[in-house]
């Protein structure tokens, strides 16, 4: 069996200018979109709490939302997971702990009501209220007072007397958001009619760290691959491979931008895999170009590239097709992140194939032309190179 019965002779290189133009346009649009609209950052990067629940009775997202709002949770987004009969929902909220600006004020008032206190300040990021009291206090009493103000308390820490014994330091640690969710949704029921399937908390600082590390990983791998390509091939091949990689990464980022799918750690993994796959594809064609440059000495480079791309076209289509085939299972049965991962990979495979033909290869010509032009410029003083 064969996909391409006859040897093709498509003039890819001749169409490189419109292709480059369109690609650049789309890429710029995506970059502008990212800057203007931004990704739908998941809890990994944005910080916050995500809770997945499965009800054992038929329930709608609307009912869950109403119940949450009745329990005082106003900024919760509720989204169904999987088929409707699964009764599974994803609840998303901004905070990690129950300590909000408003709550912190109430906690302060409650603490100040206990006795003479100084330095009452809330550490919002960690969900902690710090204070110093002139008298030793019982942790139980502090806990009761703060809980009385409507804030779940996980622990009251007795940090002991400060130096000189002029005061006693305490920390009130607020409970997590998930606790409040379960309390709100289970309110009025003897036993909750749902099962908690997943809880993710990511603190804002950790979120920022995770995001930075993800971006650094992308940059590092691109640079490392660029070095490898420049070393294994010729310098003029390097930039083409790099640009094709950047192109593919932006295109896949575009998928996340347009689909509004959650951008999280798995998305970074998808982008990185695309980097690997993209350069994989590019290298196969580069290899052939290099081989043909030896085989057809004297022919102009654009023609050689056209031959190389046409010769490898069958395998290019096949490989992309087979890799896409292996993703079909994930696309059908994959849930949540895995579906997104497979979808992003599919987009990546398609644009990766396109970019190795229309972006990576033309750039080699361009760099070659520039090198020749420079040579011609300095050429008058130098010995002409033997052809």
Q: How far is the CB of 358 from another protein (least distance, A)?
A: 19
What's the token pair of residue 348? Answer: 């990546």
Between 13 and 202, CB nearer to another protein: 202
Between 16 and 264, CB nearer to another protein: 264
Between 136 and 300, CB nearer to another protein: 136
Q: How far is the CB of 37 from another protein (least distance, A)?
A: 25
Between 269 and 350, CB nearer to another protein: 269
Q: How far is the CB of 282 from another protein (least distance, A)?
A: 9
Between 32 and 141, CB nearer to another protein: 141
Tell me the C-alpha distance between 364 and 361, whole Å.
5
User: 331 with 304: CB under 8 angstroms?
Assistant: no
Q: How far is the CB of 31 from another protein (least distance, A)?
A: 22
Between 52 and 262, CB nearer to another protein: 52
Between 26 and 208, CB nearer to another protein: 208
Q: How far is the CB of 315 from another protein (least distance, A)?
A: 4
Q: How far is the CB of 273 from another protein (least distance, A)?
A: 6
Q: How far is the CB of 261 from another protein (least distance, A)?
A: 15
């Amino acid at each position: 069996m064969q996909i391409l019965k006859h040897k093709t002779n498509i003039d890819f290189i001749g169409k490189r200018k419109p292709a480059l133009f369109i690609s650049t346009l789309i890429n710029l649009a995506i970059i502008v979109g990212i800057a203007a609209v931004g990704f739908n950052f998941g809890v990994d990067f944005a910080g916050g709490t995500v809770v997945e629940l499965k009800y054992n009775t038929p329930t709608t997202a609307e009912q869950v939302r109403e119940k949450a709002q009745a329990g005082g949770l106003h900024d919760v987004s509720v989204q169904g997971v999987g088929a409707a009969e699964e009764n599974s929902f994803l609840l998303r909220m901004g905070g990690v702990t129950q300590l909000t600006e408003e709550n912190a004020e109430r906690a302060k008032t409650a603490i100040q009501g206990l006795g003479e206190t100084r330095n009452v300040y809330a550490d919002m990021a960690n969900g902690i209220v710090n204070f110093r009291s002139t008298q030793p206090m019982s942790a139980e009493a502090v806990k009761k007072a703060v809980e009385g103000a409507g804030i779940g308390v996980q622990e009251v820490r007795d940090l002991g007397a400060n130096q000189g014994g002029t005061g006693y330091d305490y920390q009130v640690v607020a409970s997590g958001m998930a606790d409040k969710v379960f309390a709100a949704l289970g309110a009025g029921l003897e036993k909750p009619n749902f099962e908690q399937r997943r809880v993710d908390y990511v603190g804002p600082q950790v979120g920022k760290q995770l995001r930075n590390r993800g971006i650094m990983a992308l940059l590092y791998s691109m640079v490392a691959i660029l070095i490898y390509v420049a070393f294994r091939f010729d310098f003029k091949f390097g930039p083409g491979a790099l640009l094709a990689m950047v192109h593919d990464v932006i295109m896949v980022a575009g998928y996340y931008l347009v689909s509004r799918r959650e951008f999280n750690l798995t998305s970074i993994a998808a982008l990185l895999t695309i980097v690997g796959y993209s350069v994989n594809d590019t290298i196969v064609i580069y290899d052939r170009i290099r081989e043909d440059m030896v085989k057809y000495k004297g022919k102009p480079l654009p023609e050689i590239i056209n031959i190389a791309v046409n010769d490898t076209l069958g395998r290019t289509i096949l490989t992309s097709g087979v890799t896409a085939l292996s993703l079909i299972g994930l696309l059908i049965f994959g849930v949540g992140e895995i579906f997104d991962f497979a979808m992003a990979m599919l987009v990546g495979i398609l644009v990766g194939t396109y970019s190795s033909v229309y972006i990576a290869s033309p750039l080699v010509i361009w760099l070659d032309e520039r090198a020749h032009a420079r040579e011609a410029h300095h050429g008058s003083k130098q010995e002409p190179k033997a052809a």
